[in-house]
Homo-oligomer: A and B are copies of this chain.
Amino acid sequence: MMTKGRLEAFTDGVLAIIITIMVLELKVPHGGSFEDLKSLLPIFLSYVLSFIYLAIYWNNHHHMMQTAKHVTGNILWANMHLLFWLSLVPFVTGWMGENHFTSASVFLYGIILLGSAIAYFILQNLIIKSHGEDSILKKALEKDLKGKISPVLYLLGISASFISVWISGVLYILVAIIWLIPDRRIERALKNQKV
């Protein structure tokens, strides 16, 4: 059994860098008028969406780890797997923004979101398993509607990318909104346990 402190610190570091490195795709334009900013708008919009997604991941990770009492070797690797998918977010964000939302880039963006969601799901299950029947996380997530609906919406968005990238965009934004709606499951479960 290992303590969870360094896993949290490393994850915080990687997420902090990913979220900040994305801003480097907003390349400083050579002209100094508002006109010169216009071409950056699609990149900026991609940035905002990815920033929100990464913030949601950090937030959920934070809540989830609050329920964990220890970590195992498997959990460390599942966490690395999640970070791998998230580390590709700046690339797809830049690609999607710079090419004004082509089908291919919107498709790949969805794939990275889906991969991240699956990686998160694996990590979550390993934490529950390692804490046995009494797992606070398990109780908090009993229904886990959000967790179940997100991959479905991602899949729809990915499929739609070859018909209309607008539909994909709406679906990706929808998932973000679903997660932004305050959700006190873990906070409540922690309170009940008087942890």
Contacts and interface: CB of A to CB of B under 8 A. Distances in A.
Interface residues of A, number: 67
Given A33-B102, A62-B6, A63-B2, A14 B14 contact: no
Task: Name the residue in A6, A29, A59 with the highest tally of chain B Cβ atoms < 10 Å from its Cβ.
Answer: A6
B51 A2 contact: no
B190 A28 contact: no
Nearest to A74: B182
- The A interface, classified by DSSP as helix, strand, loop or mixed, is helix
A51 B1 contact: no
A95 B29 contact: yes
A169 B8 CA distance: 33
A178 interface: no
A89 B23 CA distance: 10
Task: Name the residue in A21, A55, A182 with the highest tally of chain B Cβ atoms < 10 Å from its Cβ.
Answer: A55
A23 B73 contact: no
Interface string A1-29: 11100111110111111111101111011
Given A16-B10, A16-B13, A26-B91, A2 B190 contact: yes
Contacts of A7: 62
A2 B102 contact: no
Contacts of A31: 99
Given A31-B99, A77-B59, A187 B16 contact: no
A16 B17 contact: yes
Given A16-B13, A26-B91, A102 B62 contact: no
A7 B191 CA distance: 19
A87 B19 contact: yes
Given A16-B16, A55-B77, 4 more contacts: A8-B9, A20-B21, A28-B95, A73-B184
The 3 closest A-B pairs by CB, nearest first: A32-B99, A13-B16, A32-B102
